[in-house]
Structure 1
């Protein structure tokens, strides 16, 4: 949370301070480092500590029942991804490939499912915190106009915030920063703007509640082959005889969904 607040403070400072033309070098270096760092947040420290202990107990149970596992790897401090892998396909394969007493197998399966549920929740919390924090830092880099050589660490957090951020204010702020980034990159070579806009268009039309799903036109009757109406004098008009729904004629959306 401290990182996110620091990033938002820098954003506001950059917005209000029109006199500082260049970002201080020490701040620029640190912001670029923060963009590429993967950190665990204090907000999930308690749940992660509990999860880590449960994973250790589970590994000890597997070892007690002599199930083959790389205990040297999984006997150490584990990352979320490792716990997820352990409680997922690894444990499932171990339990299915080895005959155990029914009660033992049932107990191990219950423990596995409990760990899997806990790691999913903790991973979700970690992801949401990471989205908010990295978007704030990317916004700070953008507002200070101190873009790194590779823009993906800046673009990705802003796009992720637009797609996944729960807080509408932070989501709107990320959108503003992305617009500012696009403006800064107009003359950049290579320019990422076309890809950014393409990804935004894909995201905008992914929700059928806002963007209607385009269906192919269905035609009936003798004129269905040509899709043209007869005017009675032997000529044909360019108007289709019938449509699958009211949205079929939106040519731009038809082309985009191909």
Structure 2
């Protein structure tokens, strides 16, 4: 099945500092591509993979689960580590949960994390019915494009496969148990007005990680997909400042060649 136009993965060979970006559930690299391109223009080596089952049609996603999504970012991390002296991981929504599990599992191999509206739980009463309901109902309504900016649009599915949602719920529970193993420096940016992931998820993550170098930033003007919203520039600038603080070799003037697909 061909990838939706705009949902292609993105990679850029830059300097010795690498950044892995992880997109969200039912979304695609498009939601993080402006961020990835900003980092690439500032000399970073960047990897923004397309998670299995995403960026095509929801029927493909119904055949995948958290093990597939995590395996993809884990492979990309290994590739970046082979080419870079320092590697950071950034994530949006479920991508934040993938980022946190990578941090818990790989320890000092990851230099720092930037999380945007990270998800920690599948919310709502329906979540408890997922183990049974997924055998009788294939999908529920989509969650894409929660953006305050007029005209803002996220490339994502208009339906959520319940098999995948059930797998996501199990993954969140696994990651929550592993949060005390996370020790890396963290910048966590979250939107008070988020119609997909409530602020309670960010609060729980911050209360359970073992990191001592933690910065929390509120994105007052944006909804869930803040990387495509009014606060996008702030996210990009704060993340670059974070990189510059922890990786002094980051050279803002350095540019290379970026590729999509």
TM over 0.5: no
**TM-score, with normalisation over the residues of structure 2?**
0.22
Greater percentage in helix: 1
Greater percentage in strand: 2
Pair member with larger Rg: 1
Which protein, 1 or 2, shows the higher relative CO under an 8 Å CA cutoff with sep ≥ 6? Answer: 2
**TM-score, with normalisation over the residues of structure 1?**
0.22
